[in-house]
């Protein structure tokens, strides 16, 4: 993944600044602004839908008021004593008088209730079959009982409901109304005994009402009434989207809105008829101002972005030109053998600091190279001396083996033992390739050293070992215990013919602890009696070896006790069991 990113990212500073600006500033800011504009559009859509709902509620309210006015018309007709007398006793009037009286009442009601509403058509049929109307019918009645026998009139006569609503084909002459159908209310006119004496049909040209009402709103908005048999009206010539009654009814809400095919559809249920009133508005109209604002903003933003990118490239060029010079100079460092120097007077600010640091770096490298050359020559000299010095120990070891065989021929066991012990120590010293050995091998070297010291001083030194067999194969620095024992014999047992040295070795999960305790005179008293100028060299050598091998994980301490001297050192636990 990291290699892929490195491969995609540009290598030059200019392009990296450009990509950083695009990714870290331009892209997040653009996404943020798009998010804000989306929120603004959502708020506008919600606000527009709320306003549309208010408009459609007014239309629903106007529709209900129109139906109520039509019903109040029947109440006025029923309360008019003259109308009641004409309808109950038509024989008291001739036909012209009856028709004239009823039509006059129709005109009076229209002028009082339906002056500003669409056309209303009245039809009254009494029980004797006389028909009174306020309109020119599209077709003449074939008989006086045609309307009286119609299902709607018969249902009204039963008086089950105060009135019935129905959509009927337009029966008015085309010169009066061209609407395909009308909304009719059938009401039975009742006498004092609540017995019907006539049936009134009040029909409303709701197409005309709907067009007049929606015409007051924007012509860009499309209104429609949706009922189970489809869309029956649209307020404009623009086609409304295919909206089904089942689709709106499936929402399960009386009103709401949704977005479809680039338009916002608002719908409201008309409970009086069981229809849906729909308003369709293209989103381009709703969001016209937002889109104009968005377009203006992004044009301005792109102009400023282009200017900023140009300035970025200019600034980057001013920075990268000195860096290119640095690059060329650094590529010439090796070829010129570090004999290169940048003119600092040509630079300012941070670039000047870079030039100064570069010159200082070249100077430091020159010094380091010189120092390394000197150390390399010294290392070669030391290596030569080491090879030369290994000649004498090998000669000494061979001579020691000769002495051992002579002593064996003379049956002098003490000399043989001394030669064997000294041989072990010499072999350990000559084996310079191994710095760490097993603890059990180190214990054998200490025992050999004690054997030599007892013979040398003609004294008895006793060593008590305390350790667990599990640490026998723990790795310790070679000849690390021998200096501690030598220190106890040389400085602790001064003036004493015997001595006891206790060596306790313990281990935990991470560290190996070694404690060497003698019953000598102690460190303070040994300083007074000691005249050896090399006192403490063995311990210091061990301390430095531990530090070189284990750094801060190893330590060495010397303390005085009531019984003598305690030397303690700790090092990491390293187990190296041989392969079997």
Burial of 190 (0-12, 13-18, 19+ CB in 10 A): middle
Query: Is 165:67 a contact under the CB 8 Å cutoff?
Result: yes
Chain centre distance of CA 444: 66
Q: What is the pLDDT of residues 202-232, one digit of tens each?
A: 888 888 888 777 776 656 678 888 888 777 6
Asked whether residue 180 is domain-assigned, the answer is yes
CATH number of the domain encompassing residue 112: 3.30.450.20
Q: Mark out the alpha helices in 80-176 (DSSP H runs).
A: 81-88, 95-113, 151-158
DSSP E strand stretches across 127-274: 131-133, 164-169, 181-190, 196-204, 222-227, 230-234, 255-260, 263-270
Asked whether residue 13 is domain-assigned, the answer is no
My answer on whether 75 and 181 are in the same domain is: yes
Choose among 178, 176, 200, 180: nearest CA to 188: 200
Q: Which residue has the higher pLDDT, 355 or 74?
A: 74
Residue 577 is encoded by which pair of tokens?
């069991």
Q: Which helix (H) or strand (E) holds 391?
A: helix 391-409
My answer on whether 268 and 160 are in the same domain is: no
Q: Which of these three, 264, 286, 308, is where a domain ends?
A: 286
Asked whether residue 453 is domain-assigned, the answer is no
Residue 513 pLDDT exceeds 90: yes
Q: At a CB cut-off of 8 Å and minimum separation 6, what does 295 contact?
A: none
Structural domain of 271 = 217-286
Walk across the sheet containing 511-518 and list its strands. 460-466, 498-507, 511-518, 565-572, 555-560
Asked whether residue 171 is domain-assigned, the answer is yes
| Residues in a beta bridge with 123 | 133, 201
Token pair 């990291």 is found at 2
Q: What is the pLDDT of residues 339-398, one digit of tens each?
A: 777 777 777 777 777 778 878 887 888 888 888 888 788 777 656 555 555 545 555 666
My answer on whether 99 and 174 are in the same domain is: yes
Q: At a CB cut-off of 8 Å and minimum separation 6, what does 529 contact?
A: 494, 495, 521
73/201 Cα distance (integer angstroms): 10
Angle at CA 467, nearest 5°, toward 466 and 469? 140
Q: Which of these three, 286, 310, 332, is where a domain ends?
A: 286
Residue 422 pLDDT exceeds 80: no
Q: Mean of the pLDDT values across residues 28-33?
A: 81
My answer on whether 64 and 190 are in the same domain is: yes
CATH number of the domain encompassing residue 500: 3.30.565.10
Query: What's the confidence (pLDDT) of residue 236?
Result: 55
Asked whether residue 28 is domain-assigned, the answer is no
Q: What is the pLDDT of residues 180-205, one digit of tens each?
A: 888 888 888 888 888 888 888 988 88
Of the listed ranges 115-119, 120-124, 550-554, 564-568, the one predicted with least confidence: 115-119
My answer on whether 221 and 203 are in the same domain is: no
My answer on whether 124 and 233 are in the same domain is: no
Asked whether residue 568 is domain-assigned, the answer is yes
CA-based torsion, 394, 398, 399, 404: positive or negative = positive
My answer on whether 195 and 235 are in the same domain is: no
Model-level pTM greater than 0.85?
no
Q: Which of these three, 251, 286, 321, is where a domain ends?
A: 286
- What percent of the chain stands above pLDDT 90? 6
54/465 Cα distance (integer angstroms): 103
Query: Is 501:463 a contact under the CB 8 Å cutoff?
Result: yes
417/407 Cα distance (integer angstroms): 10
* pLDDT grade for 534, boundaries at 50, 70 and 90: very low
Q: Mean of the pLDDT values across residues 97-122?
A: 81
The helix-helix angle for 27-79 and 206-215 (nearest 10°) equals 140
Write down the mean pLDDT value for the chain.
78
My answer on whether 98 and 204 are in the same domain is: yes
Residue 25 is encoded by which pair of tokens?
């500033």
CA-based torsion, 160, 161, 165, 170: positive or negative = positive
Token pair 């019984």 is found at 563
Q: Mean of the pLDDT values across residues 235-253?
A: 74
My answer on whether 120 and 144 are in the same domain is: yes
Q: Mean of the pLDDT values across residues 504-516?
A: 92
Residue 119 is encoded by which pair of tokens?
């056309």
Count of residues in the chain: 580
Asked whether residue 9 is domain-assigned, the answer is no
Structurally, how many domains does the chain consist of? 3
164/518 Cα distance (integer angstroms): 125
My answer on whether 567 and 552 are in the same domain is: yes
User: How many CB atoms neighbour CB 169 within 10 A?
Assistant: 9
Residue 14 pLDDT exceeds 70: no
Q: What is the pLDDT of residues 279-338, one digit of tens each?
A: 888 777 777 777 777 788 778 878 888 887 788 777 777 767 777 776 777 777 666 766
**DSSP codes of every residue in 451-506:** HHHHHHHT-EEEEEEE--GGGTTBEEETTSSHHHHHHIIIIISTT-SEEEEEEEEE
Query: Is 200:186 a contact under the CB 8 Å cutoff?
Result: yes
* Greatest distance between any 2 Cα atoms in the chain: 180
My answer on whether 136 and 249 are in the same domain is: no
- What percent of the chain stands above pLDDT 70? 80
248/276 Cα distance (integer angstroms): 8
My answer on whether 70 and 128 are in the same domain is: yes
> What DSSP character marks residue 240?
P
Asked whether residue 557 is domain-assigned, the answer is yes
Angle at CA 313, nearest 5°, toward 307 and 318? 130
């Amino acid at each position: 993944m990291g290699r892929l990113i490195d491969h995609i990212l540009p290598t030059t500073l200019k392009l990296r600044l450009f990509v950083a600006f695009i990714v870290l500033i331009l892209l997040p800011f653009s996404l943020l602004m798009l998010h804000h504009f989306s929120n603004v559009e959502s708020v506008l859509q919600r606000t527009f839908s709320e306003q549309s709902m208010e408009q459609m509620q007014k239309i629903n309210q106007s529709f209900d008021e129109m139906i109520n006015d039509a019903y109040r018309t029947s109440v006025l007709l029923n309360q008019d004593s003259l109308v009641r007398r004409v309808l109950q006793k038509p024989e008291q009037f001739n036909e012209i008088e009856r028709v004239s009286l009823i039509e006059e009442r129709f005109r009076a009601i229209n002028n009082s209730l339906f002056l500003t509403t669409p056309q209303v058509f009245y039809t009254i049929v009494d029980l004797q079959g006389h028909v009174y109307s306020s309109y020119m019918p599209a077709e003449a009645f074939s008989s006086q009982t045609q309307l009286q026998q119609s299902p709607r009139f018969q249902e009204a006569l039963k008086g089950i409901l105060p009135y019935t609503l129905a959509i009927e084909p337009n029966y008015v002459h085309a010169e009066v109304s061209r609407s395909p159908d009308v909304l009719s209310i059938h009401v039975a006119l009742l006498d004092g005994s609540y017995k019907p004496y006539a049936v009134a049909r009040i029909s409303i040209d709701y197409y005309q009402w709907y067009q007049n009402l929606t015409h007051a709103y924007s012509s860009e908005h499309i209104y429609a009434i949706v009922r189970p048999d489809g869309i029956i009206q649209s307020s404009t010539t623009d086609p409304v989207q295919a909206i089904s009654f089942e689709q709106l009814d499936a929402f399960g809400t009386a009103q709401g809105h949704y977005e479809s095919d680039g338009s916002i559809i608002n719908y409201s249920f008309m409970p009086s008829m069981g229809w849906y009133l729909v308003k369709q508005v293209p989103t381009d109209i709703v969001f016209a101002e937002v889109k104009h604002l968005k377009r203006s903003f992004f044009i301005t933003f792109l102009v400023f972005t282009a200017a900023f990118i140009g300035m970025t490239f200019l600034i980057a060029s001013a920075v990268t030109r000195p860096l290119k010079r640095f690059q060329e100079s650094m590529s010439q460092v090796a070829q010129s053998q570090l004999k290169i120097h940048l003119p600092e007077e040509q630079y300012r600010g941070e670039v000047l600091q870079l030039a100064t640091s570069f010159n200082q770096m070249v100077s430091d490298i020159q010094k380091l190279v010189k120092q390394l050359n000197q150390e390399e020559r010294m290392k070669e000299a030391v290596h030569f001396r080491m090879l030369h010095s290994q000649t004498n120990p090998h000669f000494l070891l061979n001579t020691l083996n000769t002495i051992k065989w002579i002593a064996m021929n003379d049956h002098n066991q003490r000399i043989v033992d001394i030669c064997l012990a000294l041989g072990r120590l010499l072999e350990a010293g000559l084996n310079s390739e191994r710095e760490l050995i097993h603890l059990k091998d180190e214990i054998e070297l200490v025992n050999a050293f004690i054997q030599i010291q007892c013979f040398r001083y003609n004294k008895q030194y006793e060593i008590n070992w305390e350790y667990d067999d599990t640490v026998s194969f723990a790795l310790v620095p070679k000849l690390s215990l021998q200096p501690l024992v030598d220190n106890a014999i040389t400085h602790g047992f001064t003036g004493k013919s015997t001595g006891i040295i206790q060596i306790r070795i313990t281990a935990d999960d991470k560290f190996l602890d070694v404690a060497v305790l003698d019953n000598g005179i102690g460190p303070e008293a040994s300083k007074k009696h000691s005249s050896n100028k090399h006192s403490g060299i063995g311990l210091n050598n061990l301390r430095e070896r531990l530090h070189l091998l284990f750094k801060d994980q190893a330590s060495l301490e010397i303390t005085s006790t009531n019984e003598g001297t305690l030397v303690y050192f700790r090092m990491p636990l390293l187990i190296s069991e041989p392969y079997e």
